[in-house]
Amino acid sequence: MPPFVGRLIGLALLAAVAGCASSPPRLGAAALAAAKSPRTWAPLAGAAVLSIGDLDDSVSDWAADERPLFGGSAEGASDDLRNAAVAGFLVTALAAPADNTAEGSRWRRLSWGVAALYAQGGVIEGLKDFVGRQRPDGSNDRGFPSGHAGMASSAAALGQRNLRAMPIAEPWRRGASIGFDALAAGSAWARVEAEKHHAADVLAGYAIGHFIAAFVSEAFIEPSLPAAELAFQGSSNGGALRLTVPLHPVR
């Protein structure tokens, strides 16, 4: 099965499960929380700034010429760092608590996390088809946004959420979280040095990946809002349906 088809199937499954849930979480609140994260809006703001004039081309050309971090191994380094972020997500999901607590069960973290990775891939592949931006090396027109940055960012966000549920000392948790950030940022930047993406491409991909992972985490893995409730109240003259929708997070 082609990867693009598989990602679209993952996105469709995610939408189907979300739509068929018997007591759906507050999806709008989850989307707002994900959008308000600095790891979502800051990269998007950076991409917008780079779109002014020829700034994006200048930064991308400098990175491809100088390769200050990864040198001639930039393309391979991007693959390795992305794969390490995904492996980190899987390890932390399996190490999370097995009980079905408020922090999210091990199975829920793993299954919804995989769904989020497929979903971000489907969104990014769809945008590549729609935008058709040429890669800096001229190899094809699938430059925007960066799939490597999206995958690494999404896996890192999921891994960081998993770390919060693990019974480990705070210094270790903080260090592992910084490690996830380094993997995602490194994978994204290496794509620029490898001349596969402009800087704005990786910033947009990073933002998309983080947004989708944060949204799925907030909505389905560890919701801070209780589910909406639909109940029937009977009376002597018939009855009525009552819909209760929580408006504020429960912290």
Q: Which residue has the higher pLDDT, 251 or 139?
A: 139
pLDDT of 242 reads: 55
Per-residue pLDDT reduced to its tens digit, 180-223 = 999 999 999 999 999 999 999 999 999 999 999 999 898 888 75
Residue at 24 is within a domain: yes
Which run of H or of E encompasses 229? Answer: strand 229-235
Q: Could you tell me the pLDDT band of residue 60, with boundaries at 50, 70 and 90?
A: very high
In angstroms, rounded to a whole number, what is the distance separating the alpha carbons of residues 126 and 168? Answer: 39
Query: Above 50 in pLDDT, residue 126?
Result: yes
**Which domain does 127 fall in, by range?**
3-244
Given the DSSP bridges, would you call strands 238-244 and 229-235 parallel, antiparallel or unpaired?
A: antiparallel
Residue at 250 is within a domain: no
Residue at 249 is within a domain: no
Region 57-85: what's the mean pLDDT?
95
Residue at 251 is within a domain: no
Per-residue pLDDT reduced to its tens digit, 7-45 = 555 555 455 445 544 345 467 788 888 999 999 999 999
Residue at 188 is within a domain: yes
Residue at 15 is within a domain: yes
One-letter amino acid for residue 18 of the chain: A
Q: Is the Cβ–Cβ distance between 103 and 95 less than 8 Å? A: no
Residue at 156 is within a domain: yes
Q: Could you tell me the pLDDT band of residue 159, with boundaries at 50, 70 and 90?
A: very high
Q: Total structural domains in the chain?
A: 1
45-59, 103-117, 141-155, 159-173: least confident range: 103-117
In angstroms, rounded to a whole number, what is the distance separating the alpha carbons of residues 115 and 7? Answer: 9
pLDDT of 189 reads: 97
In angstroms, rounded to a whole number, what is the distance separating the alpha carbons of residues 126 and 109? Answer: 26
Residue at 147 is within a domain: yes
Reference 168, options 92, 223, 84; nearest CA is: 92
